[in-house]
Chain A
């Protein structure tokens, strides 16, 4: 047993309103630099949709992540042999046009334009070449385009659905969408780290944050290909790859990362999970249908004395163990089994879990009156507007039971709370739903509380950086004051 600590995350999709505040908070802190304009370490996608970069989930195009290779796994598009063979030209790497060409507007023209018959306009100019561009796409270009031909219908997650099922869900009455905010998953088995020929990428032992050492990065760009979530980005100006750093300077000083802190819908939770690092290889190599269960097994119970003993033996601080015991992520993922990883079939063991959206059942409008088609208040999850197969393709490698289990649990909480606050439902209906998922009233209330009323400190349980280490961190900062950080004092130009 090799116990390590991982700062893990939960996003509650039912609460996401798609406001992009998280993206803007991140952009303002980290990526408003030359060469990074196109990067959105945090982005919010509309599902069904093609996402950012376009069709990132389609690994037939981008060859990201791991594939099962006998009893073990291998990198799909990179790795020792393939990586060094393709080092002169990386065939599966997305280019700028797969994201979008970043632009700004010539605002000065509004003031300096000569007097004329027309209103002066601020034309869009490319942030790469500085020339006029016709803006044809952007990072959230498919925002809210729930049923559109170009976006929603190109979603790769429909692969398990028949043509008839797809047509049915694009009926006007059934048409739907929900949001999918994405950041780096800080995986337990990161493909980006494994693919880096220079060894510039690494996972921090203490909290599991995956980082790129900018001094060691030599621009081979293999991480961009290898990350199946396309969360490693190439900075065309500095010639270095960059990725989400989980705001580690904020984490070290006890603050939530900027996207978590700024989240308007309070959909985000952050906390420590303890895991058994000895199991990583076996779990990542298991059969596709057991991937979710095996991954959830790797996270161990922080109250178990044996786990605590082994954690202490590995040098994990008492305060970190306490944080793991209070972790909201542990509750959502392990205790309540409400959250699932995104695309577990990429086999990177992502540490960002999603509570799938419990969308309203189908409704119809007759004579101007809105009617739910089901007899009961919300309808069963069978009439969920998004087919189970679609959600299963997103969150459980196609295992429909996993997703419907979660939705049943969410529905049970909903029915229970309706019974408590309004009381217009039959007692049998509520207890039947609760019994089906073997949930008691206390658990349902706890889920309700953490979902709706939780305070800042309940949502983000950040393990404290120790004071003695904090001093070291401060010293460290002073040592390197003025040297290369994310501000880039050094010019990126090669040569004189």
Chain B
């Protein structure tokens, strides 16, 4: 029963809340879709927290994504022990980097008076779930070796079954490791709270900056269309005013 709750109900609830909540927040509360940067109030410690944390998370996220999407490729890569060792060690290093960064960020937020002022309740929640997620992940990587190989056998079928709406939880519920289960549960928790926290900022990562022209000029001509459009580049230049 508890397995159904944690590995079926929670994922679907989280994904639904994530999808509906994020779209709602983007459409209706566009003003709040960002992370409230505090670099202006404190910049030096932030460097030692933010950089290792974000880069660590960046590579871990894409590592997990690749393992989920192309499990056979990862297993083939792990065919040679040296390659397996390289993959696992670098994954662990990124995990440690993210954890160190997170500790620095938490320490900074607790000790700097100015940063404290701009901290709200959901920031605390964010820190708690992130700590759970990263520590459980490192725990799994260290005590349940080698995750990149058994991942395909246990977790990929489960995750895939979630996304094809045919939940199969045998594999995950028979795993005899609390840390693996914790890692999965907290991962879905994170997805669920994205719309309510500063996590939203990664949804609006400005990748389109790369192909945009540097200078932007906006014309006011077609006011009615501009008024109903959220895209400020919209509007037709009239020939007569």
Contact B201 A492 (CB under 8 A): no
- Closest chain A residue to B120, Cβ basis: A493
Contact B113 A129 (CB under 8 A): yes
Q: Which residues, 215 to 245 on A, are CB-close (under 8 Å) to B?
A: 215-221, 224, 234, 236-237, 239-240
Stretch from A16-24, A117-125, A193-201, A448-456 forming part of the interface with B: A193-201
Which of A88, A189, A198, A317 is close to B204, meaning CB atoms less than 8 Å apart? A198
Contact B114 A490 (CB under 8 A): no
Stretch from A91-99, A171-179, A335-343, A368-376 forming part of the interface with B: A91-99
Contact A129 B197 (CB under 8 A): no
Q: Is A135 interfacial (CB-CB < 8 Å)?
A: no
- Closest chain A residue to B36, Cβ basis: A239
Contact A218 B54 (CB under 8 A): no
Contact B197 A495 (CB under 8 A): yes
Contact A490 B212 (CB under 8 A): no
A256 to B239 Cα, complex, angstroms: 28
Q: Is B24 interfacial (CB-CB < 8 Å)?
A: no
Which of B43, B114, B221, B232 is close to A129, meaning CB atoms less than 8 Å apart? B114
Contact A495 B121 (CB under 8 A): yes
Which of B197, B233, B239 is close to A494, meaning CB atoms less than 8 Å apart? B197
A131 to B53 Cα, complex, angstroms: 31
**Which residues of chain A are near B41, meaning CB under 8 Å?**
95-96, 128, 236
Q: Is A401 interfacial (CB-CB < 8 Å)?
A: no
Contact B227 A219 (CB under 8 A): no
Stretch from A137-145, A203-211, A268-276 forming part of the interface with B: A203-211
**Which residues of chain B are near A84, meaning CB under 8 Å?**
206, 209-210
Q: Which residues, 265 to 290 on A, are CB-close (under 8 Å) to B?
A: none
Q: Is B168 interfacial (CB-CB < 8 Å)?
A: no
Contact A494 B36 (CB under 8 A): yes
Q: How does the 8 Å CB contact mask read for B216-228 relative to A, with 1 for contact and 0 for none?
A: 1111110110010
Contact B38 A193 (CB under 8 A): no
Q: How many residues of A contact B (CB 8 A)?
A: 61
Stretch from B44-52, B64-72, B138-146 forming part of the interface with A: B44-52
Contact A128 B117 (CB under 8 A): yes
Which of B31, B42, B55, B200 is close to A95, meaning CB atoms less than 8 Å apart? B42
Contact B39 A317 (CB under 8 A): no
Contact A93 B43 (CB under 8 A): yes
Contact B113 A492 (CB under 8 A): no
**Which residues of chain B are near A418, meaning CB under 8 Å?**
none
**Which residues of chain B are near A196, meaning CB under 8 Å?**
209
A-B pair count, CB < 8 Å, reads: 166
Contact B198 A495 (CB under 8 A): yes
Given contacts A194-B215, A317-B241, contact A495 B120 (CB under 8 A): yes
Contact A218 B237 (CB under 8 A): no
**Which residues of chain B are near A159, meaning CB under 8 Å?**
none
**Which residues of chain B are near A214, meaning CB under 8 Å?**
31
Q: Is B214 interfacial (CB-CB < 8 Å)?
A: yes
**Which residues of chain B are near A492, meaning CB under 8 Å?**
32, 36
Contact A205 B219 (CB under 8 A): yes
Given contacts A84-B206, A129-B113, A216-B232, contact A495 B40 (CB under 8 A): no
Contact B40 A215 (CB under 8 A): no
A189 to B38 Cα, complex, angstroms: 29
Which of B33, B39, B46, B237 is close to A315, meaning CB atoms less than 8 Å apart? B237
Contact A206 B37 (CB under 8 A): no
Min CB–CB distance A480 → chain B (angstroms): 8
Q: Which residues, 471 to 496 on A, are CB-close (under 8 Å) to B?
A: 472-473, 475-476, 479, 484, 490, 492-496
Q: How does the 8 Å CB contact mask read for B93-122 relative to A, with 1 for contact and 0 for none?
A: 000000000000000000001101110111
Q: Is B35 interfacial (CB-CB < 8 Å)?
A: yes
Given contacts A193-B215, A201-B216, A202-B216, contact A315 B36 (CB under 8 A): no
**Which residues of chain A are near B218, meaning CB under 8 Å?**
202-205
Q: Is A424 interfacial (CB-CB < 8 Å)?
A: no
A216 to B30 Cα, complex, angstroms: 7
**Which residues of chain A are near B166, meaning CB under 8 Å?**
none
Contact A219 B37 (CB under 8 A): yes
A214 to B216 Cα, complex, angstroms: 15
Contact A496 B217 (CB under 8 A): no
Min CB–CB distance A61 → chain B (angstroms): 13
Given contacts A484-B31, A494-B122, contact A220 B206 (CB under 8 A): yes
Given contacts A128-B41, A315-B241, A493-B32, 16 further A-B pairs with CB under 8 A are A88-B53, A89-B47, A95-B40, A201-B216, A204-B220, A205-B237, A214-B31, A218-B204, A219-B201, A239-B35, A315-B221, A466-B241, A469-B241, A475-B223, A493-B120, A494-B120
21 intermolecular pairs with C-beta atoms under 8 Å apart: A87-B205, A93-B40, A96-B41, A128-B41, A129-B113, A198-B209, A199-B208, A202-B216, A205-B218, A206-B220, A215-B230, A217-B34, A218-B33, A219-B34, A236-B118, A315-B221, A469-B220, A490-B29, A490-B32, A495-B196, A496-B121
Q: Which residues of A contact B (CB under 8 A)?
A: 80, 83-84, 87-91, 93, 95-96, 128-131, 189-190, 193-194, 196-199, 201-206, 213-221, 224, 234, 236-237, 239-240, 315, 317, 466, 468-469, 472-473, 475-476, 479, 484, 490, 492-496
Q: Which residues of B contact A (CB under 8 A)?
A: 29-43, 46-47, 50-51, 53-55, 113-114, 116-118, 120-123, 125, 196-198, 200-201, 204-206, 208-210, 212, 214-221, 223-224, 227, 230, 232-233, 237-241
